[in-house]
């Protein structure tokens, strides 16, 4: 006859004692730890720590600025606008930044001082425009101008990157293909040609020697390449290195003209946007210099600031600087005489934006056939050099018959 035990398990026990015919214990599943909640808390803390140094992409900042301007234009209070943008932002780190800015404003701080706490996310142009908007009471209108400026910059950058992606990808693929042929394929042909016992043609012998060199020194070459790359990066990070890099880019044979036009367009557009929004000219020049990322523009802005503080005009400095073309100098001078410098600067920026887009389109159409020819010459030359001994062997065999 079977007995069922009625003795209760000790408090905190994870098993209940039941005995059937064999008196065995049936374990009760232990409580599962909520790892998902712990991971969410840890991720939130990591994002909050990252927020102070988070660099927001310009495209995301453009979207945020445009949406904020639209909400302010609709008549919503600033705190409510930020709360709405916080809820709909997908970037978790930027969501924390918007939350902290909103809390700072709710506690009595100004919008400009709140965004200054995150200089990596909100650039100096955005901060200065917010200050101008708060001072003039036209924050929504000024933010709309900033959003248009950011969107045009992002649009031009995307066009340039898309034009550069194709040639970089093709050249990288060609480089990888040539290395595979030299390291893995050519040694097979070299072993076969060694059995001929005849002198190889000069192109074939050169490729075989190059293949042997790469195979025996691949590690050293890779280390040397990394060392050169690291050294160049270190040099470019210095003031003298930046200057050398900027001068070299402007003088580059194919892309130099495009880089120059983009720099001129950014200078004019930034200057016009800030001046039209009521930012003082000396502060405008500081922002233009930092936003240009070109030493030539930084030097010109410093010279303009010094000249203007002494009672001079912007066009006088531009006329003495070879970086700025004559057309731009005359347009700025005309704007100064009519009191419409920002309007003239915007027209110059539109002109160089159009020129940049046309240059990108022409480069794209020109690069494609050049890359095809390049691939044909490189890969075809390697193939021909390796088959040349076979062709000669066939000719000798045909002559012996």
**Per-residue DSSP letters for 222-240?**
HHHHHHHHHHHHHHHTSHH
* Residues of the chain with confidence (pLDDT) below 70: 1-33, 196-198, 393-401
Q: What integer pLDDT is reported at residue 26 of this predicted model?
A: 52
Q: Is the dihedral of CA 147, 152, 154, 155 positive or negative?
A: positive
State the chain's maximal CA–CA distance in angstroms: 115
Q: What integer pLDDT is reported at residue 103 of this predicted model?
A: 92
- Which pTM does this prediction carry? 0.73
Q: What integer pLDDT is reported at residue 153 of this predicted model?
A: 85
φ, ψ of residue 122 in degrees (nearest 5): -110, 110
- Cα 249 to Cα 245: distance, rounded to the nearest angstrom: 6
Beta bridge partners of 26: 16
- As given in the structure block, the two tokens for residue 121 are 């996310």
Q: What integer pLDDT is reported at residue 377 of this predicted model?
A: 86
Q: What integer pLDDT is reported at residue 393 of this predicted model?
A: 65
Quick one: DSSP state of residue 27? E
Domains of the chain: 38-122 (1.20.81.30), 152-401 (1.20.81.30)
Beta bridge partners of 27: 15
Q: What integer pLDDT is reported at residue 12 of this predicted model?
A: 44
- Cα 262 to Cα 43: distance, rounded to the nearest angstrom: 40
Quick one: DSSP state of residue 42? H
């Amino acid at each position: 006859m079977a007995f069922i035990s009625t003795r209760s398990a000790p408090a905190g026990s994870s098993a209940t004692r039941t005995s059937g015919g064999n008196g065995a214990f049936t374990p009760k599943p232990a409580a599962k730890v909520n790892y998902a909640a712990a991971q969410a808390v840890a991720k939130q803390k990591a994002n909050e720590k990252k927020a102070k140094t988070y660099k927001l992409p310009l495209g995301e900042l453009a979207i945020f600025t445009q949406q904020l301007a639209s909400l302010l234009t609709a008549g919503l209070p600033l705190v409510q606008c930020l709360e709405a943008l916080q809820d709909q932002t997908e970037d978790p780190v930027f969501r924390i930044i918007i939350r902290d800015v909103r809390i700072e404003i709710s506690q009595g701080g100004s919008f400009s001082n709140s965004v200054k706490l995150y200089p990596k996310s909100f650039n100096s142009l955005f901060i200065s425009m917010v200050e101008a908007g708060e001072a003039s009471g036209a924050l929504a209108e000024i933010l709309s101008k900033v959003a248009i400026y950011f969107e045009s910059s992002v649009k031009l950058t995307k066009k340039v990157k898309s034009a550069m992606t194709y040639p970089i990808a093709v050249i990288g693929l060609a480089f990888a293909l040539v290395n595979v042929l030299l390291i893995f394929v050519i040694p097979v042909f070299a072993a076969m040609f060694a059995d001929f016992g005849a002198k190889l043609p000069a192109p074939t012998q050169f490729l075989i020697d190059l293949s042997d060199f790469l195979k025996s020194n691949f590690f050293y070459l890779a280390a040397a390449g990394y060392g050169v790359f690291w050294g160049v990066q270190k040099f470019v990070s210095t003031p003298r290195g930046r200057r050398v890099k900027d001068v070299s880019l402007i003088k580059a044979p194919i892309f130099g003209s495009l880089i120059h036009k983009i720099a001129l367009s950014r200078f004019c557009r930034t200057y016009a946007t800030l001046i039209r929004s009521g930012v003082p000219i000396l502060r405008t020049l500081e922002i233009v210099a930092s936003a240009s990322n070109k030493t030539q523009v930084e030097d010109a802005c410093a010279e303009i600031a010094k000249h203007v503080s002494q009672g001079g005009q912007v066009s006088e400095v531009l006329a003495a600087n070879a970086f700025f073309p004559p057309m731009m100098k005359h347009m700025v001078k005309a704007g100064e005489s009519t009191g419409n410098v920002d309007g003239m600067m915007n027209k110059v920026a539109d002109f160089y934006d159009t020129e940049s887009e046309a240059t990108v389109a022409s480069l794209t159409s020109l690069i494609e056939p050049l890359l095809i020819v390049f691939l044909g010459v490189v890969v075809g030359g390697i193939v021909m050099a390796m088959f040349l001994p076979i062709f000669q062997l066939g000719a000798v065999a045909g002559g012996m018959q």
